Every structure is written in structure tokens, then in C-alpha cells.
A and B are shown apart, each in its own frame.
Chain A
Amino acid sequence: MDLSQINPILLLASLMVAATPILLAAIGEAVVEKAGVLNLGVEGMMITGAVVGFAITVNTDAPVLGFVCAAIAGAALSMLFGILTQYLLSNQVATGLGLTLFGLGVSSLIGKPYEGMKVTTLSKFEVPLLSDIPVIGPILFKHDPMVYVSILIIAATWYVLTHTRAGLILRGVGENHDAAHALGYKVIRVRLMAIAFGGACAGLGGAYISLVRVPQWVDGMTAGAGWIALAIVVFASWRPWRVLLGAYLFGGITVLQLNLQAAGVPVPVEVLASSPYIITILVLVAISMKGSHGAPGALGKIFHATH
């Protein structure tokens, strides 16, 4: 065992990269659920974002455009879910699962010509002056722009949800849609906007995998990241900063256990390999035992009012 081979600076920097796709998808889903909608199609939207972002970047050599198109693709796919669940009143769980299957299938179809292709990835952005600070600089200020964008999205989401009228309305719709409707708020419109935001974030998360983290297109490459994002939302009790904490904790443990394995620590490998999931489950259990875990009151319930 040689722990000196693990560079803590590189480890912490890797943690941020590993957490970013889950973070983006989870914050989007947190907003969707705050509005009272349960969308289990995160995986499908992520992988659609991954393939669209990759395809656009391959064809244009512009990763920023790739990310923009990935967000649009994720939002467009989420609108399919939105129309089915909000207007046609289909079951949210079944529709979300269907969306995941649809996303996996359509991404496979779109992605076929792009297998094995190289892509222009986002170059690292070193924040002037700050990146030169010893230790902290390489950990926090030498990342690709999407790492910073993901943190900005968290901050903006927190601010909107807690400090603005729009956020109050969204939370009101999620807590009691009948009361919100009685007060004259357009429940379906609010929910559709939240769903679109969630889809866009999931698309960005998927594109981050195919354009930065791996970077290539491989069929099925999200490999369950969307499901982890869903767990992180519950883990975070639907609070934006806790989403950040949850994603970084999961990403951190994932990267750490790989490094510990490579360093040969005398801990059973099966314990290390399962640790990200075990710790997530333990936290979820702890949250459940507390009782008031902050789930929106109308989460997953169908809104029946006529419009």
C-alpha cells in the first residue's frame, strides 16, 4: 500500500469533474420535483443530450454549440413527457420510464454513425490570478467552463427558488396545485417550464459525459447516471446546495475508491467498489428516519383542473 501515490490535489479536481454530470441532471430534476412532477426519464434525456451534443460538436467543431443543442434536445424530449403527463394526464412514473427507454433507443439510432469518432472537447479555463493560488488554484480554478456553469446553475436555482416571486409560485404549485390554481396561477404552464428546465439540465449533464468526461460517443454511455441523479435529489431533500453536496459526495467517493484500489489499500475491494452506493443509501435511510424529508406535497399527483 502506498497512499503517497494519491495526489490529493488531482483527486479533488477529479471529484469535481466526476460529479458534474450528476450535478447538472440532479439540479434539473430537483426543480421539476419542486413543481410537483416526478420525471423518471432523466437517463433518457441525459443520453439524448450526450448524443446530440456529440453529433453537433463533431459536425461544427464547436463544443459550446454542442452543449446548447444538448440542452435544447433534453428540453424537447422533456416536453414529450410534459404533454403526456400534464395535458393527457398519463401516469408520471410509467411515462418517465417510457421516456428513458425512448431516449436510450433514439440515442442509439442517432449515434450509430458517430461511434469511434474523435471530438473537439472543451478546453480548460484557468481563472486569472485565482488559478495560481497554491493548492486551491488547481483544485477549484483550473476546470473546463461547464464545471463553473454547473455551480452557477445551483446558485441561480437556489436564489430563484428562495428569493423570487417565480420561485415562490413554483414551490406553491409543487406543494398544493389546487390551492395554486385557486389563486389563479397557471399550474400546467409553471410545471411545463420546470419540466423543460429539468430536461435542459439533463441534456447538459449527458453532453458533459460525451464531450468532456469520456470524451467520445458510446451507445449506452450514461450507464445509470440518470438514476443516480434521481437518488441525489431525494438525498438532498430537494434543496439546491444539498444537491451540490450530494453530487460531490457521490462523485468524490467514486473517484476516491478507484484511487484507493490502485494504491492497494488493505480494504476489501468489494467494500470500496460499493461504497458510493452504500453511503448514498445510508444517507437516504437517515433522511427517511428523520420523518420530515421535505418532499413537495403534490409530488407525482395528477392535476385535474380544467383549463
Chain B
Amino acid sequence: MRALKSLLTGAALVAGLAGAAQAEDKTKVGFIFVGPVGDGGWTYEHNQGRLAVEEAFGDKVETIYQESVPEGADAERAITQMALAGANLIFTTSFGYMDPTINVAAKFPNVKFEHATGYKTAPNVSNYSARFYEGRAVQGHIAGKMTKSNTIGYIASFPIPEVIRGINSAYIHAKKVNPDVQFKIIWAYTWFDPTKEADAAKALIEQGADVILQHTDSTAPQAAAKEAGNVITFGQASDMSEYAPFPRVSSIIDDWGPYYVDRTKAVMDGTWESVATWHGIGDGMVGIGEISDAVPADVKAEAEALRDALGDGSYHAFTGPLNKQDGSAWLAEGESADDGTLAGMNFYVEGIDSEIPSN
């Protein structure tokens, strides 16, 4: 009886150790999300990237995530918990996670970190972003061509370079095709708050905007535009195709999947290095959602040509002559903006009648 008991105990121990070893073989990949995975925009697309990792590696990976993590001290706690939970690689997917990511990375030198849309790196921290401003250029072109009131509303989130780049790019390309266009900008000071986003859209519409662009993450502005009936919108971060063909006439789609798969593979095979990645239309990280039939055929053709030129590098969204808002020269004829200036952009281009809030 005692021998049987010992045998069973031994078998259980072996099985347990085997299970633990198998679990240890798995690469654990963590994701920190700023909104809910069902936001229909930014976080939804990052979660699609997470699912792409699961699909690519199957049983070899385990993914974990935490959604709706506020930027700031809470983020540091959440990232720390994820590292303590045994994550080998952690993607922190919002600008405001930059310093928390750097701080936590210093305490966990064996864990690899990837921070989205920031500019800081460390030996175990990479950063990555997409050239969303290329998509904004296409949106600006369509908006400038389609507005009847010459008033374009822009719902901005926070005054960070990524958002300011988007406003400038959209404005430049709207102004290029419609010199009478003006931008009305509302800073929502949130990435995700459907009621505030809807209220912002309504305020802009009530003040004459017949095109709404957004750099916030929910589909609420689309719903507000649909209710208004004569306002066009663009999907942000995700296709938001449930509002196509009208009011949503096109979109910027963030495709994080290939990058997430690539970086996970690098951790798995030991080739991961700290890098800064900034991809755009050409690399497939920024997609332009289908331009609907609500857009006139000639405008659609022009927008697609602009998309292709941005994609193959024959055209840069920030090409001179361009002045800063205060009238000082920025880019000469034919000159393109360098990545350093774009990465830290903290000024509007000439013609935008608004002020950038201090962060």
C-alpha cells in the first residue's frame, strides 16, 4: 500500500514538473491597453494584433492583457504586475505609458518591453509607431474636396506630437485642394469617452462643420454625424465600416499584427534588440479603409493616387513650401520634414487659427 502511495506521489510529481516545464516553454506576451478591447478603434486594433500573435504561434505563446489602464501611476502598477506574472515581452500601447514603461523596464532587465507611439528606448525597451499622418493627408484631401461649408471639425485627444502631426497633415492637404477651408479643433482630453466625443462632434456640427475628423477612439462621433445626416466622417484607427458608406467615407486602419508577430518571434528565437520603428502606408502598418461611393469618383481617384504616392515614397506628407503658424519659414519649396522634427512636433502650420494647449 505504501509502495503504491509512493508510486502515485512520484507520478503526480513527474506530471506536475512536466506541466511546469511545458508552461515554461511558452513565451508569455503581455499587452497593456488604454481603452476597452471593444472600443471599435485604437484598442480594438491592438487586440487584433494580440490575436494575430496567438494565431501565428499557437501553443508556443500565451498572451495576457489588461484593458482600460489609465495613463500614469496606475499604468506602472499594471505593467509591474504583468512583469511579475512572468511575461517575457510586454507591449504598452499608448503614449502616456512611456515613462511608466521605462521605469518598470529598469527593474526587470530580463523582460522585453515595446512601447507604442513614444520616443524613449532602453536596452530592453523598443518603441514603435505608425505614420498616421500619412492617412490624415488622404483624409484631409477628401475632406477639403467634399466640404460645402468649408468648416472641418477635428476632435483631438491630447496635445502630443502624434496628434498635432495629424492635425497639420489633414489641414495642409485640405487647404491644398480648398483654400477657403478652416479647421475647428476641440481638445477632448481623453482617448476614450463616447459621451464626450459625441458632444464634441455635436458642438462642431452645430457650429457649421460638415466634416468631422477624430483622433479619439470610439465610434461615437460617427453616430453623432449619422444623426445629423449631412456630415461626413472618417474611421479612426479601425475601419469603423459599420458607418459606411455614409457618414464614414474612409478610414485610417492601424495594422499592428505583423509587427507584433515579428517582435514575438524575435523574443522566441533570441534575436530581439532595442529598436525604434516608425512605419507607414508603404510598410502596411497604416491602411486606408475603402473609400466609399459617397465620395465622387474623381476625388476617390485623387485620394487613391495620394495614398499610393505616400506608400511608394514618391511624395512626403510634409513637403514645402510650408510655414509655421507664426509665419516663420519651416520648409522650403520641395523640402521634406525630417523625422526628428516630426517626432517632436509642437507647432501648427500656418493657417490654423487655434492654439495648442500646453500639455
Contact = CB atoms under 8 A, between A and B. Distances in A.
A264 B38 contact: no
B184 A220 contact: no
Contacts of B39: 218-220
A264 B353 contact: yes
A115 B40 contact: yes
Contact of B187 (A219, A224, A273): A273
Contacts, number: 117
Contacts of A220: 35-36, 38-39, 68, 192
Contacts of B357: 268-270, 273
B195 interface: yes
Contacts of A10: 206
B348 to A, nearest CB: 13
A218 B36 CA distance: 9
A218 B38 contact: yes
Nearest to A271: B357
A258 B200 contact: yes
Contact of A5 (B198, B208, B224): B208
B266 to A, nearest CB: 31
A118 to B, nearest CB: 8
Contact of B186 (A115, A221, A262, A274): A262
Given A115-B38, A218-B39, A264 B184 contact: yes
B196 A223 contact: yes
A117 B243 CA distance: 10
A184 interface: no
Interface residues of A, number: 41
Contacts of B188: 273
B250 interface: no
A216 B219 contact: yes
Contacts of A112: 38
B37 interface: yes
Contact of B194 (A118, A223, A262): A223
B355 A269 contact: yes
Contacts of A263: 184, 207
A296 to B, nearest CB: 30
B354 A214 contact: no
A218 B40 contact: yes
Nearest to A259: B203
Most-contacted residue by chain A among B153, B195, B198, B202 (CB, 10 A): B195
Contacts of A118: 242
B192 A264 contact: no
Given A218-B220, A225-B195, 11 more contacts: A14-B199, A14-B203, A18-B195, A117-B242, A118-B242, A209-B195, A261-B187, A262-B203, A262-B204, A269-B159, A270-B358
23 contacts: A5-B207, A6-B207, A10-B206, A108-B38, A213-B198, A214-B194, A214-B198, A216-B219, A218-B40, A218-B218, A219-B37, A220-B192, A221-B195, A221-B220, A225-B195, A259-B203, A261-B187, A261-B203, A262-B203, A264-B184, A264-B353, A268-B358, A270-B187
Interface of B: 35-40, 68, 153, 159, 184-190, 192-196, 198-200, 202-204, 206-209, 218-220, 223-224, 227, 242, 353-355, 357-358
Interface of A: 5-7, 10-11, 14, 18, 21, 108, 111-112, 115-118, 209, 213-216, 218-225, 254-255, 258-259, 261-264, 268-270, 273-274
List the 4 closest A-B pairs by CB distance, nearest first.
A219-B38, A219-B36, A269-B357, A116-B242
